[in-house]
Amino acid sequence: MHMIESGNVAAATGVKLARAGVIAAYPITPQTPLTEKLSEFVASGQMEAEYIPVESEHSAMAVCIAASSAGARAFTATSANGLLYMNEQLHWAAGARLPIVMCVANRGIGAPWTVWNDQQDSMSQRDGGWIQLYANDHQQIIDSVIKAFYLAEFVSIPVMVCYDGYLLSHTYMPFEQPDQTLVDGFLPDFKPKNALDPENPSNFNTVTLPDVRPDIHGNIAPGYMEIRHCLHQDMRKAMMVLEEIDMKFQETFGRGGHPFVEPYLCDDADHVVVSVGSLSYHFRDVIDLLRKEGVKVGVMGIQLYRPFPDKAIVDALQGKSSVFVFEKALSYGNQGPLYADIKAALYPCDNKPAMHNYILGLGGREIKTAQLLETVRTACSKPKWLGDTPIWLGLKCQE
Amino acid sequence: MKQDDFSTLISRSDPGPGDGGRTGSWRVLRPVIDLGACIPSKTNKRACFNCWFYCPDGVVSKTIPPVIDYEYCKGCGICAEECPAGAISMIEEAHFMEEKNDECI
């Protein structure tokens, strides 16, 4: 069934189709109407779930941790400062290997206060042990939410589904709503690997010491280093699982095929623009215009940011003349996080492209097609290394 | 790839004494029960046991008289706070150290 709705409703519908059992959310700013929609689904009986309104995002994640530990399929959503307020619990959820799924409607972080779109919030959480998927449109939002539950539960790692605040969260777009019976056939029931069980009581995530030590039965139990190493190895292996899930999704629903990066006119391109989220679709108009001018340029959207799909990125970018990374986030005092990651991935290659880093759209600053067109046209005409200092686009009153 | 290949190492332990080490060594104040005032001890009836009920570490026995396992009691003092007869006093560990030292002399 096709529907025309907001990105938030696409996300909520995905959560409903995935039959999440516990939803915990803080209902006020910086929350989006996504959780409001879920509360309607639950109140009207369209969704059989426990809906728990909480007093903070920290508590929302704490409830999800408890629910997931008890074996329930748990979901929450947040944005910006709300995501940061969860921070301590986010690391806990990953370390405890709980397959929670969370939507992040990407927004700028205060101070100064802003509620508009950029990607600083989730980008700043890249090192916490969560898998991060980024959606470019409403169809990808609903599809990613369903795939996210599959992936999270298979690899026992929580998954963030990120999509641009306002640009996707509040705009209306047509998308296909997957059939419930098909989703039920696609998504296996949640069988937690480790869950609380009154019949078989046990302590989870008890204190570890710097070294390994015997448990109460005298067997050597893994220490902190072993447990964290296992998380890292599983994160890397999760890429193969995502690829399999994406293939299965494509067989069932007819959509997919780009689990890691989504290239557009990149094969024969000399220059490639790289960005994350809806901006990569915005760029397609720019690419079409430049192609008409005879500039061999393409754009690549990053669909999976953690674990970092370095092989797919190197395969797509090595040998190109230049790569322009456009980001709505910044590691202050350094570079854009994606730029730094891509540059590191390309380091071992013999034929490295020149790279530019552009920072734009922070705090919802409007990004105009004409501005992107001019920037990429100029960049393609002088495809040489400019140093690592990011170039800020759209600054108005400079000091 | 199977689901079982993932999350093979976590921190999980069966409940039992001593998983966190002998936590009695953390204690600064030691709860000591005055059996003359303690309700089950005084009446010889299986009544009260607030100390057993409220102990967050489960180191007080539900027996007449109640016995505190000092190997694991951290000395939080909840039992003393909850005892309706005021039969439990919290005494500085230093006091028992001195007693022990006196014995040695």
pLDDT category of residue A385 using cuts at 50, 70 and 90: confident
Q: What is the mean pLDDT of residues A306-314?
A: 97
Q: Check whether A326 has a pLDDT greater than 70.
A: yes
**A24-33, A243-252, B72-81: the lowest-pLDDT one:** A24-33
- CATH number of the structural domain A2-186: 3.40.50.970
pLDDT of residue B23: 87
Q: Is A241 on the interface with B (CB under 8 A)?
A: yes
- pLDDT top residue among B100 and A102: A102
Cite the residue boundaries of each domain of chain A with CATH code 3.40.50.970.
Answer: 2-186
| C-alpha distance from B20 to closest chain A C-alpha (Å) | 7
Phi, psi of B101 (to 5 degrees): -65, -40
Q: Check whether A151 has a pLDDT greater than 70.
A: yes
How large is the angle between the packed helices A337-346 and A310-317, nearest 10 degrees? 70
pLDDT of residue A310: 96
Give the β-pairing of A74-78 and A101-106. Answer: parallel
Q: Tell if the CB–CB gap between A96 and B13 is shorter than 8 Å.
A: no
Closest chain B residue to the Cα of A192, Cα to Cα: B3
Q: Check whether A135 has a pLDDT greater than 70.
A: yes
pLDDT category of residue A68 using cuts at 50, 70 and 90: very high
Q: Tell if the CB–CB gap between B3 and A191 is shorter than 8 Å.
A: yes
Q: What is the mean pLDDT of residues A223-229?
A: 96
Q: What is the mean pLDDT of residues A151-159?
A: 98
Closest chain A residue to the Cα of B12, Cα to Cα: A204
Torsion of CA A9, A15, A16, A20, to 10 degrees: -150
Strand partners, A77: A103
Give the β-pairing of B12-13 and B29-33. Answer: unpaired
Q: What is the mean pLDDT of residues B24-36?
A: 95
pLDDT of residue B1: 86
Q: Is A385 on the interface with B (CB under 8 A)?
A: no
Q: Tell if the CB–CB gap between A193 and B9 is shorter than 8 Å.
A: no
DSSP per position, A227-256: HHHHHHHHHHHHHHHHHHHHHHHHHHHS--
Closest residue by Cα to residue A77 from A153, A129, A20: A20
Tokens 């997931």 locate to A68
Give per-residue pLDDT as tens, A183-194.
999 999 999 988
What CATH architecture does domain A261-392 belong to?
3-Layer(aba) Sandwich (3.40)
pLDDT of residue B105: 58
Q: Tell if the CB–CB gap between B6 and A193 is shorter than 8 Å.
A: yes
Q: What is the mean pLDDT of residues B41-50?
A: 96
Show residues of chain B in contact with A216, CB under 8 Å: 13-14, 16-19
Q: Tell if the CB–CB gap between A222 and B11 is shorter than 8 Å.
A: yes
pLDDT of residue A384: 84
Q: What is the DSSP letter of A326?
A: E
What's the N-to-C CA distance of chain A in angstroms? 52
User: Which of B7, B13, B18 is the closest to A221 by Cβ?
Assistant: B13
| C-alpha distance from A223 to closest chain B C-alpha (Å) | 8
Q: Is B58 on the interface with A (CB under 8 A)?
A: no
Q: Tell if the CB–CB gap between A203 and B6 is shorter than 8 Å.
A: no
Percent of chain B with pLDDT strictly greater than 70: 94
Q: What is the mean pLDDT of residues A184-205?
A: 92
Q: Check whether A136 has a pLDDT greater than 90.
A: yes
Show residues of chain A in contact with B15, CB under 8 Å: 201-203
CB atoms within 10 A of CB A182: 13
User: Which of A153, A227, A241 is the closest to B11 by Cβ?
Assistant: A227
Show residues of chain A in contact with B17, CB under 8 Å: 216
Q: Check whether A35 has a pLDDT greater than 90.
A: yes
Closest residue by Cα to residue A119 from A284, A306, A330, A332: A330
Q: Tell if the CB–CB gap between A193 and B15 is shorter than 8 Å.
A: no
| C-alpha distance from A156 to closest chain B C-alpha (Å) | 6
Q: What is the mean pLDDT of chain A?
A: 96
| C-alpha distance from A207 to closest chain B C-alpha (Å) | 7
Q: What is the mean pLDDT of residues B61-79?
A: 96
C-alpha to C-alpha distance for B17 and A79, rounded to whole angstroms: 43
Cite the residue boundaries of each domain of chain A with CATH code 3.40.50.920.
Answer: 261-392
ipTM: 0.88
| C-alpha distance from A220 to closest chain B C-alpha (Å) | 11
Closest chain B residue to the Cα of A99, Cα to Cα: B7
